[in-house]
Amino acid sequence: MSSAAQAEQLVDGVLRIVAPNPSPMTGEGTNSYIVGHSRCAIIDPGVDEAAHLDALVAAAPGEVAAILVTHAHPDHTGGALRLAERLNVPVYAYPLELQGIRDEDFAPHRPLYHGDIVDLDTVRLEAIHAPGHTADHLCFFWREAGLLFAGDTVMADVTVVILPPDGDMSAYMQSLEQLQALPIERIAPGHGRLLEDAPAVLAHIVAHRRERETQVLESLSVDEPMMAEQIAVQLYPDLDVRLQPMAAAQVEAHLIRLVALGNAVAVADGWLCVQEADPLFY
C-alpha cells in the first residue's frame, strides 16, 4: 500500500491532499480538497485507496458534512462512495450520466445544480455548472474568498482536454466566459498548483483556445477533406505517440465547434472549410 501525501494548507479553510494517481493525464495526481473549519466538505476524493481516504479523514479539521464531486471522471469520483459510506454523509454532484469515459459505479446521492449553495458555516460554496470538459461539470466558488475550485475546467500549466461526446468546445468557451464574469481571484484546479491572478489565467486559456481554433480552421481546405488525426499531427508534431488519439479528439472538438459556427462542414472522409464563411471574430 502506498503512503498518502501530506495535507497542505493553501489558505485558511482549505487543505489539499494529492491523490496517489499520477499519470500523463492527471499530472502529479488529482487534488482532493478539504474546505471549511468545524463543518467541512471534501471535494473530489480522487481514488478509492485506503491510505488516501484515511489521510482525508485525518486531516479534516471538523465534521465532514458533504462530499462534493466536480464531474464523474474516475480520477475524481474514485473514493467518493466508499468515503461517503465510511463517514455516513451524502455525495453531491450534477446528476447527468456521461456517455464516454466515466466511473460506471458512480452515482451521486443528492443532486447539485447551478446556483445551489453548500453551507459549511464559515464557508459558503456556490455550485457553478460549467460544462465543457464534461457535460456534468461543476465548479465550486467560495465568493467571500474569491477562490474557485475549478475541477478540470482549469488545470495548472496544461491544456484541459475536451473529448467528445462528453466534452463540448462551445460549451467550454461559454463556461470560461461565465467564470470571467465572476469575481474570482484565485483558482484551485483539479490538478496542479494553486493559481494566482485568476483573470489572467482565464484570459490566457480563452486566447489559447481561439488561437488553436484558428489554426484548425486554417488547416482545412474547401475541396480536400482532412481527418482530425492529420490535423493533430500538424498542430502537435512533437507529441508523445500515446497521446495522439487524445490530440485528435481535441481537434475534433474544435471541428465540431467550427461546424456549429458555420465555418466548416463534416463530409464522409473528413472535414472541409466553408469558403464563403466569415473569418472568426470574437
Residue closer to Zn ion, measured from CB, 152 or 168: 152
Tell me: cis bond preceding 22? Omega within 30 of 0 counts: no
Rounded Cα–Cα distance for residues 118 and 126 (Å): 6
Shortest CB 219 distance to Zn ion, Å: 27
Query: Cβ of 53: how many Cβ atoms within 10 Å?
Result: 25
User: Nearest-5° angle of CA 242, CA 234, CA 158?
Assistant: 55
Shortest CB 150 distance to Zn ion, Å: 11
Among 48, 152, 168, 252, binds Zn ion (CB under 5 A): 152
Residue closer to Zn ion, measured from CB, 64 or 205: 205
Rounded Cα–Cα distance for residues 161 and 154 (Å): 10
Residue closer to Zn ion, measured from CB, 39 or 73: 73
Residue closer to Zn ion, measured from CB, 103 or 152: 152
Shortest CB 134 distance to Zn ion, Å: 6
Candidates 50-58, 144-152, 254-262, 268-276; binding stretch for Zn ion (CB under 5 A)? 144-152
Q: Would you state the cell numbers that stand for residue 275, as one nine-digit string? A: 469558403
The secondary structure element, H or E, covering residue 93 is strand 91-93
Shortest CB 21 distance to Zn ion, Å: 12
For Zn ion, the binding residues in 19-78 under the rule CB under 5 A are: 73
Rounded Cα–Cα distance for residues 100 and 98 (Å): 6
Q: Would you state the cell numbers that stand for residue 43, as one nine-digit string? A: 471535494
Residue closer to Zn ion, measured from CB, 95 or 183: 95
Shortest CB 242 distance to Zn ion, Å: 18
Residue closer to Zn ion, measured from CB, 101 or 182: 101
> Do 131 and 147 form a contact (C-beta atoms < 8 A)?
no
Shortest CB 109 distance to Zn ion, Å: 21
Rounded Cα–Cα distance for residues 225 and 198 (Å): 39
Candidates 107-115, 148-156, 231-239, 245-253; binding stretch for Zn ion (CB under 5 A)? 148-156
Ordered alpha helix ranges (H), the chain: 50-59, 74-77, 80-87, 169-180, 198-218, 228-235, 244-261
Shortest CB 157 distance to Zn ion, Å: 16
Q: Which of 178, 180, 91, 66 is nearest to 131 (CA)?
A: 178
Decide: residue 198, CB within 10 A, 0-12 exposed, 13-18 middle, 19+ buried.
buried
Residue closer to Zn ion, measured from CB, 101 or 272: 101
Residue closer to Zn ion, measured from CB, 173 or 231: 173
Query: Cβ of 9: how many Cβ atoms within 10 Å?
Result: 12
By the rule CB under 5 A, 136 interacts with Zn ion: no
Shortest CB 72 distance to Zn ion, Å: 9
Binding-site size, Zn ion (CB under 5 A)? 2
| Residues lying near Zn ion in the complex (CB under 5 A) | 73, 152
